[in-house]
Structure 1
Amino acid sequence: MSFVISGSLTYINLGLVDGFVGIWMIGWGKSFVVAYPTLLLLFPIVSKLAKAICKE
């Protein structure tokens, strides 16, 4: 997800400039450093919340 979003935002902000892929990869690396630990921390909480809301 962070890969697609960082690519989309790079394109929106810069367009197809020279070095686009390199700029995108730098942006993706930075976003992945934030996104992955956030996923690991929040997934159990969100999962429990969803199970509590959707009890059968």
Structure 2
Amino acid sequence: MVGPGSLLLIAGVAVLIFGPKKLPELGKAAGNTLREFKNATKGLVDDDEDEKKKEGNK
């Protein structure tokens, strides 16, 4: 488990590496990536459910 001290250390290193101006852009990009991944996996699950329904109707 990651504790609060570890999170602060990681955040500090990120600020040192990327700089404070770049961090919001990186956060936004990460959020968009996660949202796209979530939508893509939701589509796969929906497709699997549709196939199961079709097989059940046979």
Same-fold status (TM-score > 0.5)? no
Q: Which has the higher contact order (CA 8 A, sep 6+)?
A: 1
Q: TM-score, normalised by structure 1?
A: 0.38
The structure having more radius of gyration, on CA atoms, is: 2
Q: TM-score, normalised by structure 2?
A: 0.37
